[in-house]
Amino acid sequence: MFSLKKKFLYLSASLVFILAFSAALGAREATVVKLAAFDYPPFYYDKDNRVQGIAVDLVDALFSRMNMKHEIRIYPLKRALENLKTGKNDGIMILIKTPEREQSLIYTSPVLTVRGVLWWAADGKRSGLEFERLEDLTPFRIGVTRGYSYGIELDNILKNMTVDVVGSDLLNFKKLLWHRIDAFPCNEIVAKGLFKSNKAFQGKFIHSKNAFIEWKLHMAISKKSDLADKINDINTIIDDLKKEGFINNTVKKYIEE
């Protein structure tokens, strides 16, 4: 009788262990990576109640190869960064690295390098606003987007220039067409994405040959996320996507007319 009781207890304990292990395994498999995004077409934008864009396609390819489920939600940029800092969100695909952000985020190898160039209206009084030094721009009226940084060097020069501040890149390009500003500094991919989605803009702008800055865009992962342990795997897949031409082809899909 005693041995049967021991056997029963052993079987019961084993069953409890198996059920607990299965539940834990199931929970792990059901874990969904929560990614933050911010309104930044053509990298992220909301269309038909669905987040779309270059970064979304890259995220889909990355996590498909990692066999991990994910979801993306758009927030104001400040809120997205706070969610990453607290660990509410696991990561964000496209972000510029700064010392302040590195305190709470781990960055992958660069996903893309993007040029910042100066744009002006093709039919404007100015035949061109080429520059050798950024100081060459000081005589002109420059449009900027509220809250944006254009790099330390240009930001400092803009402090001593005639600057018009508005709430979006789209409005700055409209102001170029209206000849209310002479030039507008903008990320090349963002600008071309706007031109593709706004037919009235196509063929209406010219950009400088020289860049005022080159931004390296990374995927950033919260230091409080379990995803941080997979940084080497993520870097390997990003490198593969580059070599295969997937990243360049994805960018072209969103900017070429």
Reported as a single tens digit per residue, the pLDDT across 84-129 is: 999 999 999 999 888 899 999 999 999 999 999 999 999 866 555 7
Report pLDDT digits (tens) over 156-202. 999 989 899 998 999 999 999 999 999 999 999 999 999 999 999 99
Percent pLDDT > 90 in the chain is 71
Alpha-carbon gap, residue 220 to 196, rounded angstroms: 28
Greatest mean pLDDT range, 70-79, 140-149, 234-243 = 234-243
Selecting from 3.20.20.70, 3.40.50.1390, 3.30.70.1350, 3.40.190.10, what CATH number does the domain 32-111+219-255 have? 3.40.190.10
Q: What is the pTM of this model?
A: 0.80
Cβ–Cβ < 8 Å for 223, 44 = no
Q: What is the DSSP letter of 137?
A: G
Report pLDDT digits (tens) over 29-57. 458 999 999 989 999 999 888 999 999 99
Q: Do domains 32-111+219-255 and 113-215 have the same CATH topology?
A: yes
pLDDT at 35: 98
Selecting from 3.90.1150.10, 3.40.190.10, 3.40.366.10, 3.20.20.70, what CATH number does the domain 113-215 have? 3.40.190.10
Buried b (16+ CB within 10 A) or exposed e, 200-225: ebeebbbbbeebbbebebbbbbbebb
Domain positions in the chain: 32-111+219-255, 113-215
Pick the closest to residue 256 from 171, 184, 174, 197 (CA basis): 197
pLDDT at 15: 45
Task: Write out the two tokens for 36.
Answer: 């933050």
Cβ–Cβ < 8 Å for 232, 171 = no
pLDDT at 257: 72
Pick the closest to residue 208 from 183, 244, 230 (CA basis): 183
H/E segment holding residue 166: strand 162-166
Cβ–Cβ < 8 Å for 51, 73 = yes
H/E segment holding residue 252: helix 246-255
Average pLDDT over residues 122-143: 82
Cβ–Cβ < 8 Å for 113, 248 = no
Alpha helix stretches (DSSP H) within 34-96: 54-65, 77-86
